[in-house]
């Protein structure tokens, strides 16, 4: 478990720059949104999930997430077919806020090019500059404004 | 000075299909067609427009809409139902999230764009402020609502509606709200929560003046000039496709991609008096809440508490957390955060039929 600048970013997960995370078990990749996203977004109102058997490329928008009056996107961290979705989110979207890496998981992808695509994601030490950059960018913009 | 495009029509109210299709084309034009930011200022024909993930059949009394000739549709941005018409300014903005002058993050973007509308309203002589959960208010009463969606990698569509004048009886007739169970209190209830530019100014003002003030505020904020323009051939095709495939398509308008909708009513006796809570829930989220009863408080404080809860989780601990963020001593005489939370939870657990 790693806390980076106040955000919980578990070491064993891979992270996409649009804040989706990937837990790899063989070719099955469980996907959710990271702690930085859920803290910034606030209470999640609705998760617009894809259908099972839908296929997506790495980085493609595979779902949408409404928080307050904002609708953002869920990007597939790896390419592949959706093989499972978290149906509990239909009744309780607060799981994404309360337990983003556990009960708040969103979907599972059967990956098609995992070995190559994992190199495009961030993990462990490579997250620190990314989080720093995200925080710095926000602070700079606030100062300018 | 950079030049942005301005689509403006203050004369001919648009159908919901046309207005919303133009708006959806704005971020697409930025990301796929190389357009600079586009501001769309206009009005709608009398209509009710629900948020992208709302249950339209639960939100509106569609039979009353049909009887009264009120259009209804679903927009692509978040949030709740808005009642639009020739005296409500509709604003669509296509802009990139890295546009200089726009703050970062979801909250930052809403704050930046709210600031512009605040400047415009102040220019008209109205003292207005931003309140949490993306509304603009005057003395605790809502005067404008905001919503947005991230359409592509970095282009967003931002929507706002500004009330120049507003027909509360119409709203009460066509919307499904738990407080409508209180027919006798309905008008007073909403007139204490909504205000308009005309009410604040105390005189009539034409739409062109209001829209001109918004245009000027955008121009100042981003140091840009506006070029009055119309959709080009590429954009016209996109608009036509959206009208045909989305905004006249029952699958879109009556989409079932939304959280389950519920209403609840709760009464709770406290040392400060009786608390009555009227709640609309979208899944596990509070979509709308009215706090009323025979206690002592101010309209401004009650509206602040209600705003703090809108579009937040309906879980007890979250209700407590969000109330505590804005709570001031004696906000409701004889009532604490705990008792108010208890009353809201009671309403949640006491569902009523629409």
Model confidence at B354, in pLDDT bands (50, 70, 90)? low
Does the pLDDT at position A138 exceed 70? no
Residue with tokens 């004696």: B330
Residues sharing a CB contact under 8 Å with residue B27, sequence separation 6 or more, in sequence order: B94, B95, B151, B152, B155, B156, B157
The mean pLDDT value for A15-22 works out to: 94
Give CA angle at A132 (B114, B158), nearest 5°.
20
Q: By three-state DSSP, how is residue A77 classified?
A: coil
- pTM, 2 dp: 0.91
Q: What is the pLDDT of residue B191?
A: 83
What does the alpha-carbon distance between residue A121 and residue B109 come to, in Å, rounded to a whole number?
27
pLDDT in tens, B204-238: 999 999 999 999 999 999 999 999 999 999 999 99
> Which residues lie closer than 8 Å to B111 by C-beta, 6 or more apart?
B103, B130
Angle between helices B233-242 and B16-33 (to 10 degrees): 130
Q: Is A68 on the interface with B (CB under 8 A)?
A: yes
Segment B257-263 shows an average pLDDT of: 90
Q: The tokens 């403006």 sit on which residue?
A: B8
pLDDT at B10: 86
pLDDT in tens, A32-47: 999 999 998 889 999 9
Please state, as a whole number, how many other Cβ atoms lie within 10 Å of the Cβ of residue A125.
Answer: 10
Mean pLDDT of A105-116: 97
What's the gap between Cα A38 and its chain centre? 9
Rg (CA), chain A: 15
Our CA-based measurement puts residue B205 at a distance from the nearest CA of chain A, in whole angstroms, of 29
Domain A3-130 bears CATH identifier 2.60.40.420: no
pLDDT, residue A144, reads 54
From the list B290, B288, B294, B262, the residue with the least C-alpha distance to B277 is B290
CA distance linking residue B305 with residue B327, whole number of Å: 8
Q: If you count DSSP H runs as helices and E runs as strands, how many of each does chain B have, helices first?
A: 13, 16
Q: How is A91-140 classified by DSSP, letter by letter?
A: T-THHHHH-TTTTT--EEEEESSHHHHHTTSB-GGGHHHHHHHHHHHHHH
Confidence of residue A4 (pLDDT cuts 50, 70, 90): confident
Q: How confident is the model at residue A131 (pLDDT cuts 50, 70, 90)?
A: confident
Provide the pairing of β-strand B38-42 with B88-96. antiparallel
Q: Which of B112, B257, B311 sits opposite A45 (nearest CB)?
A: B311
Reply yes or no on whether the pLDDT at A142 is more than 70.
Answer: no
Contacts of B101 in chain A (CB under 8 A): 144-145
pLDDT by residue (tens digit) across A91-100?
899 999 999 9
* pLDDT tens digits along A45-76: 999 999 999 999 999 999 999 998 899 999 99
Model confidence at A140, in pLDDT bands (50, 70, 90)?
Answer: low
Q: At what angle do helices B337-348 and B316-326 cross, to 10 degrees?
A: 140
Helix (H, G, I), strand (E, B) or coil at B325: helix
Question: Does B106 sit within 8 Å of A93, measured CB to CB?
Answer: no
- Global ipTM: 0.86
Helices B105-123, B207-222: axis angle to 10 degrees equals 130
Residue A1 has pLDDT above 60, yes or no: no
| CB neighbour burial string for B264-300, b if at least 16 within 10 angstroms, e if fewer | bbbebebebbebbbbbbbbbbbbbbbbbbbebebeee
Do the beta carbons of residue B304 and residue B285 sit within 8 Å?
no
Which pLDDT score is estimated for A125? 83
| Residue B180: per-residue pLDDT | 57
Contact predicate B47/B68, CB 8 Å = no
Nearest chain B alpha carbon to A87: B259
Going through B121-272 in order, the beta strands assigned E by DSSP cover: 129-131, 135-138, 141-150, 155-163, 224-228, 261-270
pLDDT tens across B148-161, in order?
Answer: 988 777 899 999 99
Residue B99 sits at the vertex; the CA angle it makes with B97 and B102, to the nearest 5 degrees, is 75
Closest residue in B to A141 (Cα–Cα): B103
Residues 41-70 of B with CB under 8 A from A: 51-53
| Nearest alpha carbon to residue B65 among B162, B159, B195, B172 | B172
pLDDT of residue B57: 94
Question: B80 to chain A: nearest residue by CA?
Answer: A69
B325 to B229, B288, B319, B337: CA distances (angstroms):
45, 18, 10, 10
Top-tier CATH class for B2-253? alpha beta
Would the pLDDT of A113 be above 70? yes
The yes-or-no verdict on residue B185 having pLDDT over 80 is: no
* % of chain B exceeding 90 in pLDDT: 75
What is the C-alpha to C-alpha distance for residues B290 and B180, in angstroms, rounded to an integer?
A: 11
How high does pLDDT run on average in chain B? 92
B269 touches A at CB < 8 Å: no
The average confidence (pLDDT) of chain A is 91
Q: In this model, does residue B84 exceed pLDDT 60?
A: yes
Bridge partners of B5? B38, B227
The residue with greater pLDDT, A4 or B254, is B254
Q: What is the CA A123 to chain-centroid distance, rounded?
A: 13
Q: Where are the domains of chain B?
A: 2-253, 261-352
Backbone region of residue B67 per phi and psi (left: phi > 0; alpha: psi in -120 to 50; beta: other values): alpha
In CATH, which of 3.40.50.1360, 3.40.50.300, 3.30.70.2190, 3.30.390.50 is domain B261-352?
3.30.390.50
pLDDT tens for B264-274 read 998 999 998 99
Tell me whether residues A72 and B259 touch, CB distance under 8 A.
no
The pLDDT value recorded for residue B230 is 97
pLDDT at res. B131: 75
DSSP category for residue B322: H
Token pair of B274, please?
Answer: 């009786």
Mean pLDDT (whole number) for A1-23: 90
pLDDT-derived band at B132, boundaries 50, 70, 90: low
B105 touching A, CB under 8 A?
A: yes
pLDDT of res. A141: 58
Q: Read off the pLDDT of each residue in B169-181 and give the average, rounded to a whole number.
A: 79
Residue B156 Cα, gap to closest chain A Cα (Å): 9
Which pLDDT score is estimated for B9? 94
**Angle formed by the axes of helices B316-326 and B299-309, to 10°?**
140
């Amino acid at each position: 478990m790693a806390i980076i600048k106040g955000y919980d970013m578990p070491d064993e997960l891979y992270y996409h720059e649009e804040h989706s995370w990937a837990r790899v078990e063989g070719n099955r990749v469980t996907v959710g949104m990271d702690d930085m996203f859920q803290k910034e977004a606030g209470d999640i109102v609705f998760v617009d999930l894809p259908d099972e058997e839908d296929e997506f490329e790495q980085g493609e928008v595979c779902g949408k997430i409404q928080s307050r009056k904002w609708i953002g996107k869920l990007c597939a961290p790896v390419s592949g077919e959706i093989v499972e979705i978290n149906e509990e989110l239909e009744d309780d979207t607060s799981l994404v806020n309360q337990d983003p890496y556990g009960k708040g998981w969103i979907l599972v992808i059967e990956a098609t090019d995992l070995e190559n695509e994992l190199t495009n994601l961030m993990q462990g030490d490579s997250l620190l500059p990314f989080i720093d950059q995200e925080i710095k960018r926000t602070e700079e913009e606030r100062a300018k404004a | 000075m950079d030049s942005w495009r301005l689509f403006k029509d203050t004369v001919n109210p648009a159908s919901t299909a046309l207005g919303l299709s133009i708006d959806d084309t704005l971020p697409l034009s930025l990301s796929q067609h190389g357009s600079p930011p586009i501001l769309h200022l206009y009005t709608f024909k009398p209509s009710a427009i629900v948020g992208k993930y709302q249950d339209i059949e639960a939100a509106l009394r569609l039979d009353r809409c049909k009887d009264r000739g009120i259009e209804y549709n679903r927009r692509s941005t978040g949030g709740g139902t808005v009642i639009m018409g020739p005296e409500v300014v509709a604003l669509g903005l296509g802009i990139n999230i890295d546009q200089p002058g726009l703050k970062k993050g979801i909250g930052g973007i809403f704050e930046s764009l709210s600031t512009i509308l605040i400047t415009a309203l102040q220019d008209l002589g109205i003292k207005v402020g931003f309140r949490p959960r993306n509304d603009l208010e005057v003395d605790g009463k809502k005067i404008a609502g905001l919503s947005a969606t991230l359409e592509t990698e970095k282009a967003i569509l931002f929507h706002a509606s500004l009330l120049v004048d507003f027909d509360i009886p119409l709203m009460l007739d066509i919307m499904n709200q738990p407080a409508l169970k209180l027919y006798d209190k309905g008008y007073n209830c909403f007139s204490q929560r909504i205000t308009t530019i005309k009410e604040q100014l105390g005189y009539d003002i034409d739409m062109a003046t209001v829209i001109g003030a918004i245009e000027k505020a955008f121009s100042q904020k981003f140091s840009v000039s506006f070029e009055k323009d119309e959709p080009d051939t590429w954009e016209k095709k996109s608009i036509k496709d959206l009208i045909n495939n989305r905004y006249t398509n029952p699958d879109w308008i009556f989409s079932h991609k939304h959280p389950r909708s519920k209403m609840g009513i709760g009464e709770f006796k406290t040392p400060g008096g009786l608390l009555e809570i009227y709640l609309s829930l979208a899944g596990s989220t509070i979509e709308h809440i009215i706090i009323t009863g025979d206690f002592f408080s101010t309209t401004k404080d009650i509206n602040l508490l209600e705003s703090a809860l809108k579009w937040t989780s309906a879980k007890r601990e979250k209700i407590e957390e969000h109330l505590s963020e804005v709570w001031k001593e004696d906000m409701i005489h004889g009532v604490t955060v705990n008792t108010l939370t208890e009353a809201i939870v009671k309403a949640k657990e006491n569902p009523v039929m629409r």
